[in-house]
Amino acid sequence: MTTTTHENQITKEGQFHLGMKNDLEFLISLGISSGADFVEIFLENTNNISLLAEQDHITSVNPSFTRGAGIRVFLGDRDGFVTTNDLTINGLRNALENSLAMLGLDMNNSNLINFTGLNNFNDYGKSKETWLKDSPELKSSCNLILKATDKLKMKNKFIDVRRGSYSRGLQEILIASSDGTFCRDIRLSQSIGLNVLASDKGFRASSSRRYGSQGKPNDLLEWDSEKSAYDISESVGNMLYADYVEASQMPVVLANKFGGVIFHEACGHLLETTQIERGTSPFADKLNKQIANEALTAVDEGLTEGAFGTISIDDEGMEPEKSVLIEKGVLKKFLSDRAGEMRTGHKRTGSGRRQSHSYAPASRMRNTYIASGKYQPEQLIETIDKGLYCKSMGGGSVGPTGQFNFSVEEGYLIENGKLTKPVKGATLIGEAKEILPRISMCANDLELAAGFCGSISGNVNVTVGQPHIKVDSITIGGR
């Protein structure tokens, strides 16, 4: 086998390509000959930019470019992982040698097994090579974000602080591994954030919104900044003079869209095999058992067109699937990556994801949501004599076994089946295994929202979502 095709640089003209096959097969041969059970090479190019607008000015523009590789080898259920920014054959070979050494293996150069088992090149990125060119130029991006922050000023005279942000991520990846995987993809994500702070005579309120998409170059140009500015201005205006909620235990209705962040954080992570490996998931032994109310069906998938967590392939080269996690309250599946399958026995679901080549992949959520039910949203509210309607959620924290607390950014009392006065300062406190059986009603208005998720393999783009849902009882922190 020859390795002279691209001896100095394993890429050509800045892109990954079919001509790299011989070199990659040679590297995999070295790993297998050295005693590794599995070898994976992940190559990455990125071209990213982010900008920040504060008040009426662009205050920050940050371009970034990365180029590197992550090499992972397995011996049994143990793995070694090494990253490098040196994409020459020698650089990748050195990284491979170091990853083998982590497992106590020495690189074997004398008895080379001739690995020629890479599959035909599967190029998911070929039709996407114009995406970067088709995305908004920097000047257009700046003008659009400034236009949005200007509209915020016009919508509400009490807004003191206005911030808008935009980020665009362009990632090219190539994956080659000893199971034959040989594929390339290009990914384009765009995200817009708005954040405001309002004050008047000692009263204060804040509100924020995030919008994002995957694989839609013109998304920023099609963004309805007028509607976004109206939504956030109305929200902060409603909460500015709101009374503080009293701490209590009561039923709540969580609004659709970003309300799904609680399910994502408090429950979704517990259904990743990473948590099973750590022994921190209370659901590890609950497969095919009832863990939630029969009203609840929950899904994770990477397929919805344009959604922020959608992928053509995961970061191990597997096409995504639709994974029904919970069906009518019964736990049906865990999200699994390659290591998760090896260590727990749960089959891969196309969920192996990582922030960049600097991280080994792990089982991660993609587009995760509670499925639509049969009720109108108002029907959920009508069943409650005294409770809380959570229209918009803020930040929160989650413990390793699903204990959570989340702030309510925009909330309203429910009295005698109707929404009444706005209240602020509410925090939802609970534990996943206790709350899931209390989700008794789901409306028919499923919507998705973009977000970012941090875990063992870094920050990745995700979508959260749900219809309006009713939780029969939950602890509400307040004054």
Distance of alpha carbon 477 from alpha carbon 407, whole angstroms: 9
Are 235 and 277 contained in the same domain? Answer: no
List all residues 6 or more positions away from 387 whose beta carbon is below 8 Å from its beta carbon. 250, 251, 252, 253, 413, 414
Structure confidence at residue 13 (pLDDT): 52
pLDDT higher than threshold 50 for residue 1: no
Are 325 and 358 contained in the same domain? Answer: yes
Last residue of a domain, one of 240, 269, 301: 240
For β-strands 386-398 and 248-254, DSSP reports them as: parallel
Our count of domains for the chain comes to 2
Percent pLDDT > 90 in the chain is 91
- List, for residues 314-336, the tens digit of each pLDDT value: 999 999 999 999 999 999 999 99
- List, for residues 30-49, the tens digit of each pLDDT value: 999 999 999 999 999 999 99
- Mean pLDDT score of the chain: 94
Are 252 and 375 contained in the same domain? Answer: yes
Domain that holds residue 204: 18-240
Q: Is residue 198 part of a domain?
A: yes
Average pLDDT score over residue span 173-179:
98
Distance of alpha carbon 349 from alpha carbon 352, whole angstroms: 8
Distance of alpha carbon 23 from alpha carbon 16, whole angstroms: 12
CB atoms within 10 A of CB 113: 12
Residue predicted with more confidence, 9 or 254: 254
Structure confidence at residue 114 (pLDDT): 86
Among all chains, which residue has been given the structure tokens 């890429």? 11
pLDDT higher than threshold 60 for residue 416: yes
> Is the pTM of the predicted complex or chain greater than 0.85?
yes
Are 234 and 328 contained in the same domain? Answer: no
Last residue of a domain, one of 210, 240, 270: 240
Are 295 and 402 contained in the same domain? Answer: yes
Enumerate the β-bridge partners of residue 461: 452
**Confidence category of residue 390, pLDDT binned at 50, 70, 90:** very high
Are 169 and 313 contained in the same domain? Answer: no
Structure confidence at residue 109 (pLDDT): 75
- List, for residues 267-290, the tens digit of each pLDDT value: 999 999 999 999 999 999 999 999
Structure confidence at residue 167 (pLDDT): 97
